[in-house]
Amino acid sequence: MSHPVSIALDTRALLGEGPRWHAGEQRLYWVDILANELHRFDPATGLDDVRRFEQPVGCFAFRAAGGFVLAMKDGFALLDDWDAAPKPFGEQIFADRPDLRFNDGRTDPAGRFWVGSVNMTKSAHDAALYRLDPDGALAFVEGGMLTCNGAAFNADGTAFRHADTPSHDLRAYEVDPATGTLSKRRIIHSFEHGKGRPDGGSFDAEGCYWSALFDGGRVVRLSPEGDLLQTVELPVKRPTMIAFGGPDLRTAYVTSARAALSDADLATQPHAGALFSFPVDVPGLPEVPFPG
């Protein structure tokens, strides 16, 4: 089945990432990490509002009380509303670690915020996965990575996926939904080297996982067992993250990047950095707010 890909927003993001659909507002929020920006996009009007910060925002989660929790360069911050100033939340664990920043993340069905870090210089395998609990406590979950990406949970919180992107391997875990404990780690899919690496991803309502393949020019849908079910080609080489929105969560939104592409690359990819969309048959999952 073909999936007609549209340009939802022809922005030139350096490193577009982390699209998240706000059901109450019917708007898509996303970040441009390298521009230190949080964006608020209204598909109905085409308007895209921008907030700029003093640090990169790797990802964010909506809060149950309104506003956001931001995973920034040094640590977490709370934003009470769109116009508010960020307030540090918990320990700023990377304040004295210039190579490290927070990167991709997702809330689980209980609202805990799981966030990976990235070693921006690839100087050491010291990136890791963390869990931020509602009281601000930060737990180290798993380390030894370069770029922790693709964090997502299935609908009932019993399955988790993420990737150390340069490894090309997608990792699968079983989860105890009550405690948030991971177990039975395994490689569920290994992507062929040279044809894209797993960046951001999301589950759908059937328990399948969609992954954006950075430098692969496509997004793919994998079965719960890790088998390749669908491929959607994109007109850019560097898709970064896929998430679902629209009134019925049947619109896929894909962010992309243009940073570090050559002039020759950009000549053949004039829409690099754009936000893309296409319809899907199986809806995605609603975003769970972070308590507080």
Q: What is the pLDDT of residue 292?
A: 72
Domain assignment of residue 291, yes or no: no
- The domain spanning residue 69 has which CATH number? 2.120.10.30
Domain assignment of residue 288, yes or no: no
Domain assignment of residue 284, yes or no: no
pLDDT 10s digits, 148-204: 999 999 999 999 999 999 999 999 999 999 999 999 999 999 999 999 999 999 999
Q: Are 132 and 69 contacting, i.e. CB atoms less than 8 angstroms apart?
A: yes
| 132-151 average pLDDT score | 96
What's the whole-number average pLDDT of the chain? 97
- Neighbour tally for 122: CB within 10 Å: 12
**Number of compact structural domains in the chain:** 1
Domain assignment of residue 292, yes or no: no
Identify the bridge partners of residue 183 per DSSP, sorted by sequence position.
174
**Domain extent for 110:** 6-279
DSSP of the chain, one letter per residue? -----EEEE----SBEEEEEEETTTTEEEEEEGGGTEEEEEETTTTEEEEEE-SS-EEEEEEBTTSSEEEEESSSEEEESSTTSPPEEES--TTTT-TTEEEEEEEE-TT--EEEEEEETT--SS-EEEEEE-TTS-EEEEEEEESBEEEEEE-TTS-EEEEEEGGGTEEEEEEEETTTTEEEEEEEEEEPPTTS-EEEEEEEBTTS-EEEEEETTTEEEEE-TT--EEEEEE-SSS-EEEEEEESTTS-EEEEEEB-TT--HHHHHH-TTTT-EEEEE-SS-B-PPPPBP-
Q: Are 57 and 101 contacting, i.e. CB atoms less than 8 angstroms apart?
A: no
Burial code (b: 16+ CB inside 10 Å, e: under 16) for 23-57 equals eeeebbbbbbbbbbbbbbbebeeeebeebebebbb
pLDDT 10s digits, 36-73: 999 999 999 999 999 999 999 999 999 999 999 999 99
At residue 265, does pLDDT exceed 80? yes
Considering the entire predicted model, what is its pTM?
A: 0.97
Percent of the chain with pLDDT over 90: 99
Q: What is the pLDDT of residue 3?
A: 67
| 242-269 average pLDDT score | 97
Tokens of 201: 């991803």
| 64-88 average pLDDT score | 97
User: Rounded to an integer, what distance in angstroms lies between the CA atom of residue 90 and that of residue 168?
Assistant: 32
Domain assignment of residue 285, yes or no: no
Q: What is the pLDDT of residue 1?
A: 47
Domain assignment of residue 239, yes or no: yes
Q: How many CA atoms lie within 13 A of 116 on its CB side?
A: 28
Q: pLDDT band at 2, cuts 50/70/90?
A: low
Name the catalytic one among 74, 164, 199, 204.
199
Annotated catalytic residue 199: yes
> End-to-end distance of the chain based on CA atoms, in angstroms?
42
Percent of the chain with pLDDT over 70: 99
Q: What is the pLDDT of residue 289?
A: 98
Domain assignment of residue 38, yes or no: yes
Domain assignment of residue 287, yes or no: no
